[in-house]
Amino acid sequence: LSRLESAAWRASREWYEFGEILGTAISRIPQRLRSRVSFLLPDDLPPIYVDFPQWTRVLQNLLENALSYSPAGSPVRVGADADQSFVRMWVEDEGPGIPPEERERIFEKFFRGTTSASAPSGTGLGLAVTREIVRSHGGRIWVEDVSPHGARFVTALPRQLDAEKEAV
């Protein structure tokens, strides 16, 4: 995390299909939990310009959190879409959600929200690392409510690099 924050680490980016990254992240989730994950991915989702291992870590962190904080057996959904400016990817669950007053703090180092008492122990670094990786890619991350309960973690990557891709 300190290397990410100090910009000592530099992303080694290439163009990847989101499905490639998602497949690798899913393969790192325990086999017994994989059946809980479903996907909503459009056929025309553009490739993303990312550091493959780091973006895999982003998805793996979000998936592990969703699986840990949601009730056993409940679904976790992964989705994506794109518009002219951004490619958005999200992971959502049916857990207790994130209280509004904690929605920014959960991305701070060592912060474990009030809902973390019901989840396995951890260091409180996963979302801080995730945020720094997303930032290092020029993107942003936030959390939204899912109705009637749950949380959706959304990442957005800018598409301005598409012109570079076409020029290559």
Is residue 144 within 8 Å of 98, Cβ to Cβ?
no
Give the 3-state secondary structure of residue 49: strand
Q: Tell me the per-residue pLDDT of 79-122, one tens digit each, with 9 for 90 and over.
A: 999 999 999 999 999 999 999 999 999 998 877 766 654 555 56
Q: CA 63 to CA 29: how far, in whole Å?
A: 8
**Exposed/middle/buried for residue 80 (C-beta within 10 Å: 0-12, 13-18, 19+):** buried
pLDDT at 167: 44
The residue among 110, 104, 139 whose CA lies nearest residue 124 is 110
pLDDT at 144: 95
Q: CA 24 to CA 65: how far, in whole Å?
A: 17
Residue 71 clears pLDDT 70, i.e. is over it: yes
The residue among 83, 85, 92 whose CA lies nearest residue 36 is 92
Q: For residue 168, what pLDDT band results from cuts at 50, 70 and 90? A: very low
Residue 164 clears pLDDT 60, i.e. is over it: no
Tokens of 159: 């598409």
The residue among 118, 125, 13 whose CA lies nearest residue 68 is 118
Q: CA 162 to CA 76: how far, in whole Å?
A: 30
Q: Mean pLDDT across the stretch 43-65?
A: 96
The letter for the amino acid at 113 is G
Give the 3-state secondary structure of residue 47: coil
Q: CA 79 to CA 91: how far, in whole Å?
A: 7
Other CB atoms within a 10 A radius of the CB of residue 137 amount to: 21
The letter for the amino acid at 86 is F
